[in-house]
Chains A and B, each alone.
Chain A
Amino acid sequence: IVVTQSPLSLPVTPGEPASISCRSSQSLLHSNGYTYLDWYVQKPGQSPQLLIYFGSNRASGVPDRFSGSGSGTDFTLKISRVEAADVGVYYCMQALEGRTFGQGTKVEIK
């Protein structure tokens, strides 16, 4: 399964919303009803960390400014109000067949 993100670079203004798109080459909906799409962020100099799992579930400790949506092959990560601490590279990952990361979207402050 191929996973494609856009944009690859996203300059943002603090306080403004931001959105990242992720598309998969086939549906990520499992017969068990779960959608196997996660979102991660890797902040500068750090290991990646989980933001969203099963398409729309926030991981423990993740601020509610972050939300995941979508179904089938089209998914979106939204940040309602960007903060300086949100700078980093954001990845979507499919977990339906093996695991595949998208190319990453670099979020930086304008």
Chain B
Amino acid sequence: EVRLVESGGGLEQPGGSLRLSCAAAEFNFSPYSMNWVRQAPGKGLEWISHISSSSSTMFYADSVRGRFTISRDNAKNTLFLEMTRLTDDDTAIYYCAREAGGGMDVWGQGTTVIVSS
């Protein structure tokens, strides 16, 4: 079964850092662009970052640019999100999603990040 599995979430203090991972299984990871999308408690979906298949192109939402860094290791079929200078507003479920020729067609189950003192 094609799937994405996120990990690395947890409780972190304001100003701290976390590194999320997203492991791809049962499909060839390297040709696909990937995204991170988050959902704050009781809120809608917020796209936060995109990376192309070869890592040549990366985009960020204004809310995280300069604090978060997206990367990938195609040899290990894994996507990453390095999060620094965390604030309460970063509390959310973080999803990784595969981007096919059109649309994000495979999503993980999400990992929860809580920023609190």
**A residues at B contact (CB < 8 Å):** 34, 38, 40, 42, 47-50, 52-54, 57, 59-60, 89, 91, 93, 95, 98-104
Binds A, one of B15-23, B24-32, B44-52: B44-52
Report the minimal beta-carbon distance from B9 to chain A, rounded to whole angstroms: 14
List of A residues within 8 angstroms of B46 by Cβ: 101
Check: B68 CB closer than 8 A to any chain A CB: no
Chain B, interface SS category: strand
User: Is the CB of B80 closer than 8 A to any CB of chain A?
Assistant: no
B104 touches A103 (CB 8 A): no
CB-CB under 8 A for A57 and B45, given A47-B108, A48-B95 = no
- Residues in B lying within 8 Å of A, measured CB to CB: 35, 37, 44-47, 50, 59-61, 95, 97, 100-105, 107-110
Q: Which residues of B have CB within 8 Å of A100?
A: 47
Which of B35, B37, B45 counts the most chain A CB atoms within 10 A?
A: B45
**B45 to chain A: which residues have CB within 8 Å?**
40, 42, 48, 91, 93, 101, 104
Residues of chain A within 8 A of B102, CB atoms compared: 34, 38, 53-54, 57
Complex: A47 Cα to B110 Cα, angstroms: 7
Given the known interface contacts A47-B109, A99-B50, the answer about A38 and B95 at a Cβ–Cβ threshold of 8 Å is no
B47 CB contact (under 8 Å) in A101, A103, A104: A101
